[in-house]
Amino acid sequence: MGCETCIYHLNWLPTRKEAFVSFEADDLIWLSRLREPGGLCEGWELQTVTWEEYLDLFLPLVTNGVVTYDPDPYTGAISSSLVATTAAGAEGGAVPVRKDTTSGSMYDYLVIDPTGPQLPVFIDLAGKFTGSGTIWQTSQPSSGSAKCDAYLWAIEKYIDTGTCDTTELSYSLDLWGLTRDGVSTYLLEQLRVHDYSMSKKAFCFEFSPWGDEIPNDDTGQPMGTDLATFKKILDACNVQNGTNDMIHVCGFPNWGYKYVSLFGGSHNAFETEWEFMRLMSAYNGYADVEFGSSSTSFYSGLEPEVKQRRYVQNPVPSYDEMVADGLIDGSGNIVDGNYSCIVMGDYDSPAWTLYRLAGGAGVFGQSARGEVNCNWGVNPNLIDKASVAMDYMYRNKTDKDYFAAWDSGCGYVNPGQFYGTRESGYPSIMPTWQEHCRESFRQMDYSITAWILNGSQNLTSTDADYYSVFSGDGIGLHTTNPWSGEGLVENSPVDELSGSSDYTQFQFEDYSSGVNFAWYRAVNWSVGSSGGPYVDWGPDHVKLKEEQFASSGNNHHFVDIYTYYYLMRHHLGGSNNYRATWISDTIPRIMAAGQDYPVTVTVRNDGWDSWSESDLYGLGYSVLSDGSVTATAANYEVNGRIQLPGGTTVNPGENVVFSFNVMVPSSNGNYDLYYDMTGTNTPLPEFFTELFDSSDNDLDFRSISLTPDGSSDFYEAQCTTISSFSSDPSGATPLSLSDDGSATINLIGETVELYGQAYNTFYVNANGNITFDRSDRDTDESLDDHFMTPRISALFDNLNPSSQGTVSWEQLSDRAVVTWEVIPEYNTDSDNSFQIEMFFDGKIQISWLNVDASDGLAGLSAGGGIPAGFNESDLTNCDSGSAGSDTLWFHQKNNIEWKKEIIVATNETDIDTDGDGVPDVVEEQYGSLYWHPGDHIEQLEATVELGDLVQPYDGSAKSVSATTDPAGLAVDLTYDGLTNLPVEAGSYTVVGTINEVAYQGAATNTLVIESAYDAWKAEWFTEAEQADPELSGPEADYDGDGFSNGEEYIAGTDPTDDQAFPYVSLQPEAAVPNGHNYIMNWASASGRVYSIEWTPDLLQSFVPLQTNILWPQSSYTDEMHRAEAKGFYRVDISID
């Protein structure tokens, strides 16, 4: 145990190497899958180390030392082991160790043994918590429990100071595990989670969730101490989080050891599970059910690689495909039969997903996969701790594999504890939960929550309504009340679990007539014979069921989960339009501020509608600051709609590529780039009802008038802003209503109408509504209750008019008016004032003044239950049609938009995430890991060839050329070690070095800048003659014509021909008045510049007569000095 425990606790320590630890045969399989082509670690170097080498690698990182805890679970504080783990993770550079001083123990090796590392004791928790007096290092009195005192110490030291990550909790077996069969395998499995917990700086603990019994691991504690301390941890975390954050809880009650009836408690295992989840949910927690997965900190650390991948589900069958498959007839109706959806689930645990679903012997590998429809219930948040399994399954899925969320979405929760009256007293966390789920659903291309479990509480349509935001294509409920059968909530199809609750042998429905839908929870450990071992449900079992019912004669179909819910939605009158999957994009992760980037986005049509430009289908995008709320229609409309490519029609199942420019913000920072589809909105039925959660009631000082108009919606709505009621209630008759009471009103000679039904009697209910066929004392403002009976709800909420305010009514000449003035919510002093006016011509008007309530429900009900195709209204925007407008964005139909995290910098190369000196964009270009400093780009050998090595001197800077193989690589050049280009004649050592991240190579040569004379000399003399200055030097006269080589170079004559030499002749022209003109002639040569100069005598300076004379001119006539008696001429020669 010592070695294994040390490994678990060392493995989290940060290092430039990544340690993958194998404890199961499946771990080696996952290692292979990580490194296979396409795997998350493809191409990574692997080094296998021994236990000693492992210690050599990690022990230097233990810079603080060891945190010791009690050695004996019978005499010490059993919680000290988990508190030590918390301390080591929060402090960093430390490892928790049981203070077992016997020879050969891990403590002995790490601390005492002179041949060991002799680590210092950083914190010694052994013997510090006794359950009496004052808690060690605090001023707190003991709780009466050593176990709980240790946690109270840790709360003060690590939660209250913010040293822990208060969004991370770890629930695992404490030291008490040593009391069962010595060192248990289960304990060792539980210890494996600690590398993840410590890497996250999580607070580690284990408690009973029950306050009505003494926990069996701490029988001496006062009743309720475990639960009270449990709540203190949760409260302390939420204080740090401002009650605004979800808290990730890694773990699950240890049924096999504690807190259940098997070990003396009064609650069975399921009750303990549900109470644990209920409590966690009430305090903003969600769980992944961890039973001991190996290397989860390693898998979690692959998040940057995971985020670069796009996980896409299989296309949804189209309407035409379902017709062709005989599921829909020619009239558009579902063909009578039994439509069964088997969801193989309960994969809310990293361990079950890694080892029992997708491991070497897991059901994902069964032979029938690919032959039958396989619906896998896997929580999408497992992409964190089981990333290798999620990635592997998506890479290897067949066209019959589909994935949906399990156990209440993105983590195991009791959603009923996220809103309403919560045990914690906190405000609703539901909006945060919705966004949390949207993130993981988006990443894994989920749009169905296959199973919502609310533990010991019933689910309602309110829960389904909240889940529809991220589960737009289907919701499966465990048990509901009063919900029954199939229905639509916000156009999301909802169905209750079918079959026996005994999931070891549930019965399949097989009706002989009608359209029948049934989904089944086929969990792991649910197939077995009486008294025999259970085995996990898999494709082979689905195939057996298909074969069993093939001959039933009742048209039995075992369908994929998308076909199941699309068929159901169609059958119930909903719409399968406006569904899209985001296939890929070319949007860079890092972009330069203020620039435009050409990008593409590929989208698949997963709806039953065809997309065309004429129907206004297109794409929009929005760039928002990191952490802002999800983009709205208004955000998308800022950049305008990106049209479909001209003439394109995108049919169901087809892809379309949008090409456009992204306009990057001008300020540096982190941003979220959203994109979404838009199209024509086919208006859905309007039911004039809105359910508010704990934060979005916006009815203050608004009024809505509902006038019968003969339409399918029955009413036309108009909204206005008001400052007072239209009917003054000052003369009305007060009604004496108790809390949740009701009063019967009988009209005199008149009737009021609701959806065309006339009534002369109605009931005024204390909780903000009027009913017509009976009074109603219900305090639950759910959609189920609202639509159960004909009703007008102004503010259906748990109100209490008996404590303050007035409810009154009066019958006027044209209307009946009921007013609630200054009515509080139950157990509050809030102020809510509203009025319902029912005109005798059928018009209804609802008005609100001050509304302190942040939740509630408002609207109309015709009774008979939630109507088919129900979509929630927006009662403050009813003039524009709250069910929709001419155009819509797909997210408004609960199709989750895409979000990409981007970084805006002054220059793309400014960002170096891993600090290795290589910009992210360069590492990404060459396939290196931008997020890991230990991953360096492997440089390949390349060659450099230098050219243009001999050049003439002409006064300008000279550079050589460089070519590379492979071609086009950047080369840095130096000349005698300098980057400055040489100008003067001479020889220079040139070094050309390849400057590329992925290539290396260099070459050296000599650049010669020849003088002008050297270049001329090479034209006339052999190499041997050039080497002999006596023959070709500038002072020599090679041809013996009396002119040196240097003089002939300047004159441009042939130095090897004694008949070719510089000469000048002067002769007079014929006589002219006042004397003679003189003509000068000279040997003119190319590349020379001549000037003619004159002076009257040699004591004076020469004066230029003509300059810049070029070849081929070779004569000049002087007409200026013919009267002079004497004079001297001179020809100046220079090289051009």
Nearest to 390 by CA among 131, 33, 691, 741: 33
Position 14 pLDDT exceeds 70 = no
Nearest to 674 by CA among 624, 633, 627, 634: 624
What residues does 903 pair with on adjacent strands?
590, 670
Point out the least confidently predicted range of 473-482, 763-772, 870-879.
870-879
Q: How many CA atoms lie within 13 A of 888 on its CB side?
A: 20
CA distances for 326 relative to 249, 322, 323, 337, angstroms = 46, 6, 5, 11
Contact 654, 604 (CB under 8 A): yes
Mean residue pLDDT of the chain comes to: 90
- Report which listed range, 376-380, 463-467, 890-894, is most confident: 376-380
Contact 399, 367 (CB under 8 A): no
- Separation CA 561–CA 1057 (nearest Å): 101
Give residue 7's pLDDT: 52
Contact 68, 121 (CB under 8 A): yes
Selected residue with higher pLDDT from 438 and 459: 438
Position 934 pLDDT exceeds 80 = no
Give residue 484's pLDDT: 67
DSSP letter (8 states) at residue 480: B
Give residue 526's pLDDT: 53
Mean pLDDT of 1002-1011: 93
Task: Report residue 206: phi and psi, to 5°.
Answer: -155, 125
pLDDT confidence tier of residue 22, bands split at 50, 70 and 90: low
Point out the least confidently predicted range of 120-129, 283-292, 677-686, 831-840.
677-686
pLDDT confidence tier of residue 1012, bands split at 50, 70 and 90: confident
**3-state SS, residue 156:** helix
CA distances for 55 relative to 7, 49, 117, 955, 1035, angstroms = 8, 10, 9, 67, 81
Residue 1103: its H or E element: strand 1103-1110
Diameter of the chain by CA atoms?
147
Position 316 pLDDT exceeds 90 = yes
Give residue 584's pLDDT: 97
User: Which residue is it, tokens 């989750």?
Assistant: 896
| HEC readout, 14-46 | CCCCCCCCCCCHHHHHHHHHHHCCCCCCCCCCC
One-letter identity of residue 337: G
pLDDT single digits (tens) 57-101: 888 889 999 999 999 999 999 999 999 999 999 999 999 999 999
Helix axes 146-154, 225-241, angle to 10 degrees: 10
Position 532 pLDDT exceeds 50 = no
User: Rounded to an integer, what is the distance from CA 427 to the centroid of its chain?
Assistant: 26
For residue 548, what are the contacts with CB-CB under 8 A and spacing of at least 6? none
Mean pLDDT of 909-926: 89
| HEC readout, 686-717 | CCCEEEECCCCCCCCCEEEEEEECCCCCCEEE
Mean pLDDT of 475-484: 74
User: Rounded to an integer, what is the distance from CA 801 to the centroid of its chain?
Assistant: 47
Nearest to 767 by CA among 705, 697, 855: 855
Give residue 682's pLDDT: 58
DSSP letter (8 states) at residue 639: S
Contact 13, 58 (CB under 8 A): yes
pLDDT single digits (tens) 140-180: 999 999 999 999 999 999 999 999 999 999 999 999 888 87
Percent of residues, the chain, with pLDDT higher than 70: 93
Alpha-carbon dihedral of residues 73, 79, 80, 84, nearest 10 degrees?
Answer: 130
pLDDT confidence tier of residue 291, bands split at 50, 70 and 90: confident
Give residue 928's pLDDT: 84
Token couple for 365: 């590998």
Mean pLDDT of 949-964: 91
| HEC readout, 1063-1112 | CEEEEEEEEECCEEEEEEEECCCCCEEEEEEEECCCCCCCEEEEEEEECC
Percent of residues, the chain, with pLDDT higher than 90: 70
Position 881 pLDDT exceeds 90 = no
Contact 594, 651 (CB under 8 A): no
pLDDT confidence tier of residue 570, bands split at 50, 70 and 90: very high
> What burial letters (b/e) apply to 311-333, b meaning 16+ CB within 10 Å?
bbbbbbbbbeebeeeebbeeeee
pLDDT confidence tier of residue 186, bands split at 50, 70 and 90: low
Selected residue with higher pLDDT from 746 and 177: 746
Could you give the domains of the chain? 2-299 (no CATH), 334-571 (3.20.20.490), 580-683 (2.60.40.10), 689-883 (no CATH), 940-1010 (2.60.40.10), 1014-1051 (no CATH), 1064-1135 (2.60.40)
Give residue 504's pLDDT: 47
pLDDT confidence tier of residue 12, bands split at 50, 70 and 90: low
Helix axes 269-282, 225-241, angle to 10 degrees: 30
Selected residue with higher pLDDT from 954 and 975: 975
Token couple for 1085: 């040569």
Assign residue 800 a region (left: φ > 0; alpha: ψ between -120 and 50; beta: otherwise): beta
pLDDT confidence tier of residue 866, bands split at 50, 70 and 90: confident
Selected residue with higher pLDDT from 78 and 25: 78
Mean pLDDT of 431-448: 96
**3-state SS, residue 270:** helix
Position 618 pLDDT exceeds 80 = yes
User: Rounded to an integer, what is the distance from CA 1041 to the centroid of its chain?
Assistant: 90
Cα Rg, the chain, nearest whole Å: 43
Position 764 pLDDT exceeds 80 = yes
Position 6 pLDDT exceeds 70 = no
Q: Where are the alpha helices (DSSP H) in 868-934?
A: 920-925
pLDDT single digits (tens) 655-679: 999 999 999 999 999 999 999 999 8
Q: Where are the alpha helices (DSSP H) in 917-1011?
A: 920-925
Give residue 884's pLDDT: 43
Token couple for 52: 């000693």
Point out the least confidently predicted range of 517-526, 572-581, 680-689, 1119-1128.
680-689
